[in-house]
Amino acid sequence: MRATRLLALICLASHLAQASELPPSPPGSAGKPSRPNIVVLLADDWGFSDVGAFGSEIATPNLDALARQGTRFSNFHVSASCSPTRSMLLTGVDNHLNGVGNMRETIPLEHEGKPGYLSVLNDRVVTVASLLKDAGYRTYVAGKWHVGKERHNLPDQRGFERSIIQGDSGSDNWETGKRYLDLTDKVYWYEDGKEASMPKEFYSSEYYVDRMINYIRTDEQAGKQAQPFFAYVAFQANHIPLQAPRSFIEKYKGNYKDGWTALRQARRDRAIALGLLPKDTPMVTMSTTKDWEALTAAEQAYQARRMEVYAGMAEAMDYHVGRLIAALKQSGQYDNTIFMFMSDNGAEASDPYAMLSARLWLDMYYDSDIDKLGDKGAYSIIGPSWSSAAASPLSTYKFYAGEGGIRVPLIIAGKGMQQNRIHQSFTHIIDIAPTILELANTPRPNGSYQGKPVETMRGSSLIPVLFDGKERVHPTDENIGYELSGNQALFRGDYKLVKNLPPVGDGRWHLYDIQLDPGETRDLQTSLPEVFSSMQAAYAQYAKDNGVLPMPEGYEPTQQVFTNAMVHVYIPRFKYPAILLLLGLVTAGYLLMRRRRTTLNKAKS
């Protein structure tokens, strides 16, 4: 009997030991945590390969750790500029239907105020924050808002219980009252729905994380630990002006001496090695990329320093993400938290110094000396050539509908998910809101909210990907349209129909297989004429259904920024002085003519 029991114990121990060595079985949706905390981390103007886990040389250890603990989405798409993406992230509704058909800074004057082109959220959408708050979640936002600073559009009216936000497209990262361009009369800060009293100086990434940690900790101290939270941290990094603490910038000294073409190639190779892209993924050299070897040694040094600042700013943001993660671990909240990281659009290629009016303004308020780049009072950009490397191996960048403008990194991580997984099928920003709601066991609004009609969320939840390992959430015959500033696209399965306006594009339709050719190098319209024509028809239907307006002749987004600044900032600002000046000139002319007439009359007499 003893021998039998001993043998049974030995067999049981052996069985348990063998089981512990087996790889864990993929969890199903039943493994999804019940009502987890949800943290959305939104970077600003990060290119596809700006994260270490997506092929970057920039140190992003905290984001990389999240990537290992969850899923990297290598075929995730957003809008090509800030506020349209943010509007879809918060509502799950196409930007033309939610009111942000274009952002305020780039909208042509002919479109202003038209249906779908308010440049702010309209009253026909409800945010995920409102729905989560109604479902018992604590809701917080810290950072760049940019979906409307009217009273009814401030975070406290859009479902956030606590908020500290910068209302417009951006501002300085060191000085809270300093604008990054002369696009508004001041920097608009709001806290809990009222104009905020801000410290004179801060560092934006650090400040937003500090405030978020404080919101969470304060409610926990008030006894709300059992109540889950939704935290939305919208960083200004890496929006211009590029600024970062010296300690981060100096880590990259000398890293970019070989130039942007070498960096673009190196990042492509790393992304392939990581399994994010197909082997031997081809890529184009964009027409806006300059020849590095044609630059003088001084020009190369200056350009390299710009990229060092960019890298330092990205690493600084990652560092502060790490502080938020550490705070959640310390409070015991980490294990029940789902993290989502993404960028709002591709890398920023615009050069404000190329416009005389902007250059004159920048020279008055900012320093551009190489030894001061990144510091308080200094202004830096990366421009189109480095942006092509940040988007590697994709084509185009911010504002344009090429993959470099709208395909960005997405990482989703949390307990119960499959780990270190790469999802390569098409996904879209309108999928995020449905995913958040399903995580929170909260239903989507069914055409109405609090008795008022609202637009229906169009996206697909990513839960089957995250917990069940599903390979595709969008059917291969589903059409998903896109338009911003006249740059247009339609996605169907692995195919993408796309048209980009000059000067970056040629204004004609092209067809690509973005699964096999994410760099958009092989146009398939002649080899797949039926697909090409049917997708054109599908785009036309999308444009009709969503109220997409045709663009004025000669429209160009960066030029429009300064036209809008003139109309909305300079003319109102100088309206009364201009009227007085005009009256003065008319009066002076009249007096001069009167005096001259008197003199002539005297001469005649």
Integer Cα distance of 444 and 455 in angstroms = 11
Q: Are 129 and 141 in contact, with CB atoms under 8 Å apart?
A: yes
Q: Are 241 and 366 in contact, with CB atoms under 8 Å apart?
A: yes
Integer Cα distance of 282 and 394 in angstroms = 9
Task: For the chain, give percent helix, strand, coil, nearest 5.
Answer: 40, 15, 45
Check the CA dihedral 531-532-533-537 and report its sign.
positive
DSSP element (H, E) containing 71: strand 70-73
Residue count of the chain = 605
3-state secondary structure at position 231? strand
Integer Cα distance of 22 and 14 in angstroms = 13
> Which residue in 221, 289, 301 sits closest to 257, CA to CA?
301
Which residues 6+ apart lie within 8 Å of 475 measured at CB?
Answer: 493
3-state secondary structure at position 500? coil
> Which residue in 24, 37, 29 sits closest to 419, CA to CA?
24
Q: Are 376 and 442 in contact, with CB atoms under 8 Å apart?
A: no
Give CA separation, 131 vs 81, 103, 430, in Å: 26, 25, 16
3-state secondary structure at position 143? strand
3-state secondary structure at position 366? coil
Pairing of strands 70-73, 410-413: antiparallel
Dihedral angle over CA of 455, 234, 251, 334, nearest 10: -100
Integer Cα distance of 50 and 388 in angstroms = 11
Check the CA dihedral 558-560-561-562 and report its sign.
positive
3-state secondary structure at position 190? strand
Query: Which residues are catalytic, by number?
Result: 82, 146
Q: Are 59 and 318 in contact, with CB atoms under 8 Å apart?
A: yes
Integer Cα distance of 589 and 416 in angstroms = 80
Integer Cα distance of 390 and 380 in angstroms = 16
Give CA separation, 201 vs 197, 207, 547, in Å: 12, 10, 43
Burial of 456 (0-12, 13-18, 19+ CB in 10 A): middle
What is the separation of C-alpha 30 from the centre of its chain, rounded to a whole number of angstroms?
32
Q: Are 400 and 487 in contact, with CB atoms under 8 Å apart?
A: yes
